[in-house]
């Protein structure tokens, strides 16, 4: 396995980042996960735009998008996989201990892992912790991911693949690594970005391609929604057959199934929509 680290390809076993890298010591970094299909990245332009937005929000210098594209292409060519998880990580770089950044420049890592086709449906749980829709990192895809690790571990303990959060005012927000959609009376709804959720790439495409509405939704909408589905880079559109103890035995329902079909067809037509 070869990865890209600060300007070139390296063997995975030889690649080294300083133990004082700010991404390690204080989580001062951003990242993107990009799906690759037969060595080609999906929606890379959108992912790079969000990477730049996250950098601005965190106060990091914007990454050189051309360099990141070259890095992605090199890693994909060096590691042929039918379905892959391309991970772009960009941090504050070598810094003194503490919250202040150093002046040694940023760190860029691009790596690739094998991905598996997801099942058509999955189970989710809700968790007691909240997303802060007014936080400094709201809407940014940062490496400060520990609360997602905790919530996802809780989900696995309950036989689920994802955990869903409300925000601080009790509205449905998002999953640890996904956006959530509900179907009410045949219409698709998803929380707006103002709820505190990440503006997911797959979310945006699903809204655009299915006509879903952005709607403020209470968390208990999950108790009465006709259908529920998730979107993310590696899930695409995935139906939900259980929320906590509530079973949705017909999942994926007809609206979700149509959304899945539309997404698959549109994505196949254009790998960089």
Q: State the DSSP string of 144-170.
A: --HHHHHHHHHHHHTT-SEEEEEETTS
**Six-digit token pair at 105?**
């420049």
Q: Residue 91: which CATH number? A: 3.30.470.10
**Six-digit token pair at 221?**
């909408």
Together in a domain, 42 and 158: no
- Cα–Cα distance, 135 to 235 (Å, whole number): 27
**Res 24: pLDDT:** 95
Together in a domain, 107 and 188: no
Task: Write down the pTM of the prediction.
Answer: 0.95
**Res 150: pLDDT:** 98
Reading the chain (273 residues) residue by residue, the pLDDT tens digits are 999 999 999 999 999 999 999 999 999 999 999 999 999 999 999 999 999 999 999 999 999 999 999 999 999 999 999 999 999 999 999 999 999 999 999 999 999 999 999 999 999 999 999 999 999 999 999 999 999 999 999 999 999 999 999 999 999 999 999 999 999 999 999 999 999 999 999 999 999 999 999 999 999 999 999 999 999 999 999 999 999 999 999 999 999 999 999 999 999 999 999
Q: Residue 126: which CATH number? A: 3.20.10.10
The boundaries of the domain holding residue 162 are 119-267
pLDDT tens for each residue of 94-145: 999 999 999 999 999 999 999 999 999 999 999 999 999 999 999 999 999 9
Domain termination site, one of 90, 112, 134: 112
**Considering the domain boundaries, does residue 186 fall inside one?**
yes
Together in a domain, 229 and 198: yes
Together in a domain, 130 and 261: yes
**Considering the domain boundaries, does residue 13 fall inside one?**
yes
**Considering the domain boundaries, does residue 203 fall inside one?**
yes
Together in a domain, 21 and 83: yes
- Cα–Cα distance, 172 to 271 (Å, whole number): 30
Q: Look-up: residue for tokens 């760190």?
A: 107
Together in a domain, 6 and 104: yes
- Cα–Cα distance, 218 to 146 (Å, whole number): 25
Domain termination site, one of 112, 131, 162: 112
Together in a domain, 138 and 36: no
**Six-digit token pair at 205?**
């495409």
> How many DSSP H helices and E strands does the chain contain?
6, 15
**Res 204: pLDDT:** 98
Together in a domain, 105 and 130: no
**Six-digit token pair at 245?**
């103890």
Say how many domains are in the chain.
Answer: 2
Q: Where does 52-106 show beta strands of DSSP type E?
A: 83-91
**Considering the domain boundaries, does residue 11 fall inside one?**
yes
**Considering the domain boundaries, does residue 7 fall inside one?**
yes
Together in a domain, 105 and 131: no
Together in a domain, 123 and 84: no
Together in a domain, 262 and 150: yes
Domain termination site, one of 81, 112, 143: 112
């Amino acid at each position: 396995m070869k990865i890209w680290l600060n300007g070139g390809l390296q063997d995975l076993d030889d690649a080294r980042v300083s133990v004082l890298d700010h991404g390690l010591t204080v989580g001062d970094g951003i990242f993107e996960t990009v799906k690759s299909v037969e060595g080609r990245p999906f929606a890379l332009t959108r992912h790079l735009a969000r990477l730049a937005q996250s950098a601005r929000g965190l106060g990091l210098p914007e990454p050189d998008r051309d360099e990141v594209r070259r890095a992605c292409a090199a890693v994909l060519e060096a590691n042929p996989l039918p379905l892959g998880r391309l991970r772009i990580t960009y941090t504050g770089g070598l810094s003194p201990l503490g919250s202040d950044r150093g002046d040694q420049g940023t760190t860029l890592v691009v790596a690739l892992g094998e991905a598996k086709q997801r099942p058509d449906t999955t189970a989710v749980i809700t968790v007691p912790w909240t997303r802060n829709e007014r936080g400094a990192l709201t809407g940014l895809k940062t490496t400060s991911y520990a609360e997602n690790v905790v919530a996802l571990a809780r989900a696995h303990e309950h036989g689920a693949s994802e955990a869903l959060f409300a925000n601080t005012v009790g509205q449905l927000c998002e999953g640890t690594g996904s956006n959530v959609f509900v179907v009410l009376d045949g219409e698709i709804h998803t929380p707006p970005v103002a709820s505190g959720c990440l503006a997911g790439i797959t979310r945006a495409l699903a809204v655009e391609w299915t006509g879903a509405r952005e709607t403020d939704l209470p968390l208990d909408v999950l108790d009465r929604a006709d259908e529920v589905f998730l979107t993310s880079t590696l899930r695409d559109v995935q139906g939900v057959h259980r929320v906590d103890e509530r079973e949705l035995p017909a999942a994926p329902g007809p609206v979700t199934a149509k959304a899945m079909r539309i997404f698959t067809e549109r994505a196949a037509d254009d790998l960089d929509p």
